[in-house]
Amino acid sequence: MNKIRTEYRGEMLFESTVDGRPLTVDVPAAMGGSGRGPTPLELFIASLGSCVAALVANYCHNIEIDTGGLSVDVSYSKADDPTRLAAVRVDVNLPYGDLRGREQSLLRVAEHCPVGKTICTLENIEFALHGSGDAR
């Protein structure tokens, strides 16, 4: 199983290491964060947007649709008790792309992003706690 490690750096700042590359993660101001990096929820949303963008760009390159100005906007709303995402909307923008009737194909490509598929189909997340007396 692949693994990404996240370490606490103090003052509510965290660093995740992804294939040897550091990624700084902060928390919302209400938890003591101070804007030093994206929050976990922002990273989650960004991973969805970048996944969709990558798949759409690849598809467009393969069928010669102009990807100039390609962007993906992910809008979301939150709910409380428990705190979570309530709704997510993904808008793919291809301002210079002549879609030539391929809108439905492009939407299917966007909808097959592995991050989005995981959100829709994940059945279980397992949590485990390890203390100083535990063998890792």
pLDDT above 90 covers a percentage of the chain that reads: 93
Question: Residues 84, 101: one domain?
Answer: yes
- Could you write out the DSSP letters of every residue in 89-130? EEEEE-TT---TT-HHHHHHHHHT-HHHHHHHH---------
Q: Are residues 60 and 6 in the same domain?
A: no
CATH code assigned at 102 = 3.30.300.20
- Shared domain for 30 and 51, answered yes or no, is no
Note down the domain range covering 49. 40-121
Same domain, 116 and 69: yes
Question: What pLDDT is attached to residue 117?
Answer: 95
Q: Looking at residue 135, what is its pLDDT?
A: 60
Least Cα distance to 67 among 49, 104, 89, 92 occurs for 92
Cβ burial, residue 51 (10 Å; 0-12/13-18/19+): buried
Do 27 and 45 belong to one domain? Answer: no
Does residue 86 share a domain with residue 54? yes
In a domain, residue 89? The reply is yes
- Do 2 and 55 have their domain in common? no
Tell which residue, 5, 3, 93, 4, has the closest CA to residue 57: 93
Q: Is residue 29 part of a domain?
A: yes
When pLDDT is averaged across residues 5-28 and rounded to a whole number, the result is 97
Count up the domains in the chain and report the number: 2
Per-residue pLDDT band at 83 (split at 50, 70, 90): confident
pTM of this prediction? 0.90
